[in-house]
Amino acid sequence: MKQRIGFFDSGVGGLSLLPAVQNSLPHEDIIYIADHGFFPYGEKSKEAMLNRAKLLTEALIEQQCKLIVVACNTVTTQVIDILREQYNLPFIGIEPAIKPAALKTKTGVVGVLATKGTLKSERYHQSSLHHTTGIRIVEQIGEGLVNIVEENAVEDEATLALLSKLVMPMVSENIDTLVLGCTHYPFLTPSLKKVLPESVEILDNSNAVAQQIEKVLKKEELLSLDKSAGETQYFTTGDTLSWKNITFTPLPL
């Protein structure tokens, strides 16, 4: 069996990363686990997230994964360092694009839309402090947004109203850059553009993640030598799921 790149997230959020990864690494096989059996991650304790992340990591290793992407900002900020200590393969984490936002902002005010779990984490605060000297960060918990994406209700009128309620106070604080600090949130970008002024740039980290995966695979000499098109398989730890045009196969965990 060809070695694979493994992804896991609480649900469909990490799928927002795949187009950039598939474009950069078209010959790599990918396995994606949507952990609906443990959804959502945002309110779980660190201990609970670590135990679940270890279970998913071991499932992906059994599927011949050579590198694992922790496709969730909350799990990355809470437990990825422990995973790296305990398992002998590379892990790629997902963190809010604070550094590029700090470099781009003209007003000196950056908005961060993220889950409660990410915003309260020590790793997030250290990253923010490191990259934002002279920059003001305006944070907002994206209450309800993960469920909206899971339900594929991103274009509903109620969603537009909620997004406006969440981001307009940040706009009033003079943000010109909005960081999407959850992998679910890029699916909301078209709707966010409807409620935000054109002057506000929306940033996610999918291209940066793809570049980092390619860099690590090259460094570790793990790039696929097979030049056929890579295949992607989708699994859920919940019930059989169809989301948009993707069918997920149940994976009991």
Question: Could you give the CA distance from residue 155 to residue 195 in angstroms, rounded to a whole number?
Answer: 12
Report whether 12 contacts 40 (CB < 8 A). Answer: no
Question: Could you give the CA distance from residue 154 to residue 149 in angstroms, rounded to a whole number?
Answer: 6
For residue 186, say if its preceding peptide bond is cis, omega within 30 degrees of 0. no
Helical H runs in the chain? 18-24, 46-62, 73-86, 98-104, 116-119, 122-131, 145-150, 157-172, 189-195, 206-219
Kindly tell me the sign of the dihedral angle through the C-alpha atoms of 70, 76, 171, 162. Answer: positive
Q: Is 65 a catalytic residue?
A: no
Out of 53, 65, 71, 72, the active site residue is 72
Out of 12, 182, 209, 241, the active site residue is 182
In the beta sheet, which residues pair with residue 246?
Answer: 243
In order of 49, 114, 152, 203, the CA distances from 197 in angstroms are 37, 20, 24, 14
Would you put residue 72 in left (φ > 0), alpha (ψ -120 to 50) or beta?
beta
Q: What is the CA radius of gyration of the chain?
A: 18
The set of catalytic residues is 72, 182
